[in-house]
Amino acid sequence: MMDQTRSFSSERRRSIGLNVGLSIAAVLALVVMVNYLANRHFRRIQLTESARYPLSPLTTHLLGSITNRLKVIVFFDPRSPLFSSVKRLVNEYEAKSRHIKVEYVDHVVYRNRAEQVREQYKLAADGDGDRVIFEANGKTKVVYAKDLSEYDYSKLFQGEEVKRTGFKGEQLFTSAVYGVIDPRPVKAYFLQGQREHDPASEMDQHGYSQFAQILHENNVLIDRLGSLPFEDVPADCHLLIIAGPVTRLAPVELEKIDKYLSQGGRLLALFNWRTAHDRTGLEKLLADNWGVTVGHNFVTDNAQNTQSEFQVALLTDQFSDHPIVKPLRGSRLALIVPRSISQRSTTQQSADAAKVAELVFTGPRGLAVRSDKRVEREGQIPLAVAVEKGTIPGISTDRGATRIVVVGESGFLANKVIEYEANRDFARNAVNWLLNREILLEGIGPHAIKEYKLILSEAEMKTLRRVLLGGFPGATLLCGFLVWLRRRR
């Protein structure tokens, strides 16, 4: 009986072992080198359709400037439809800065940790609601889940459902990051005494508590300014808000407001139809010294008026290229009986005169009508302006250039209406521009959301069910049987 020849000699086995060892060592060396190079030259590549939005250059620059620890708490129910979008965006922020530390808190499952977060950050009674908390330098900014979506209300009054059309995560998260890393304290004063809108009131039509909340979310402190005849505009006033005065301001008040503006002050002035026939005094001050004409009229637009729960609303999507309204293109403002606000016509203008930019317009069929029903103006009518003027030579001021925003309507920022259309976004943009926060106005808009619908008849559903429950498993079993049968042969 002949000896069987060995398949592998001892020498060949050693050679194979040596080759395998060298191959493993080469692979390990390659992995180490790739990781080293990846750490030195980090780059993220988006592969999925849902993550196709890279961070804007503005956000990337801001995150790269962070030098202190920034804590982000995603206080969210993972089963929420928004959670995946929020998590994906937060991961992008974390990847851009080693100073960002992220914690995910499922407030439904981990109730003890959720309670600790509520106590630490003094969350409201509805603290179980989804939100993202940003903390740095002893300051906190909260972004609520209800603010992260943009909706299309255009067909609301035709009985159709309101659709979610955009995700505003990057816009709000970047604003929050800027708010907590910016060391400058900012304070806004609401002038009171002429029956203006009250920032503490929760009334639907006249209260401004929602607008005050926007200021708070942008890390702006709020106070009231009771009576200017007895005091000047405070030195710590970074923004003066005069929201819909009904009675006339005293000459001494107007003088102190103009003095404040001449020293680089910032003013948000909102008029309304109640004073279209009477003068508050602000109209003359703005016209004579700041190049703004406040019309004593009310404006309609035959093409863009709509009957709604707000009685009469003028919906407009006509915006200029100014930084306040440029991000609003594609959306609309809802104004209730606005007045015209325009640049004052003048034959001569000095080099140091205030620069007036018209912001919002009616469509080409707008009408400005006086109290006697006489048409004062037709065509595209401006409804808001922004004013900017450098400091006056010889006057020292820490505020910088004067900035003013004038709108011919004040009710559009009241509690009930501010959530409609792009009113909230306009308010936020106007405040940020007035406070020299242009970094929050550039290049960040909502990311569009695509919806996909699969419509199947009952017969098609039955066919699909048979394929999924019977066809796929049956095909797998058939392949297995054929393999077994072949091996048997």
Which domains can be identified in the chain, with CATH numbers?
Answer: 49-147 (3.40.30.10), 187-434 (3.40.50)
What is the mean predicted confidence (pLDDT) over 401-427? 91
Tokens encoding 394: 């010889």
Query: What whole-number distance in Å separates Cα of residue 234 and Cα of residue 230?
Result: 12
Percent of the chain with pLDDT over 90: 33
CA angle 375-376-380, nearest 5°?
95
pLDDT at site 1: 46
Query: What whole-number distance in Å separates Cα of residue 151 and Cα of residue 130?
Result: 18
Query: Do residues 408 and 384 touch, judged by C-beta distance below 8 A?
Result: yes
SS3 content of the chain, % helix, strand, coil (to 5): 35, 20, 40
pLDDT digit string, tens, across residues 309-360 = 444 578 899 999 999 998 888 888 999 889 999 998 865 566 578 899 999 9
Query: What whole-number distance in Å separates Cα of residue 464 and Cα of residue 194?
Result: 68
* Sequence letter at residue 203: M
Query: Do residues 104 and 74 touch, judged by C-beta distance below 8 A?
Result: yes
Burial class (CB in 10 A: 0-12, 13-18, 19+), 159: exposed
**What value does the mean pLDDT of the chain take?**
82
HSE, CB side, 13 Å, CA atoms: give it for residue 209.
8
Query: What whole-number distance in Å separates Cα of residue 274 and Cα of residue 246?
Result: 7
How far does CA 382 lie from the centroid of its chain? 25
Query: What whole-number distance in Å separates Cα of residue 399 and Cα of residue 328?
Result: 28
**pTM tops 0.85, yes or no:** no
pLDDT above 70: residue 161: no
pLDDT digit string, tens, across residues 209-226 = 999 988 887 778 899 988
pLDDT digit string, tens, across residues 359-381 = 999 999 899 988 778 888 899 99
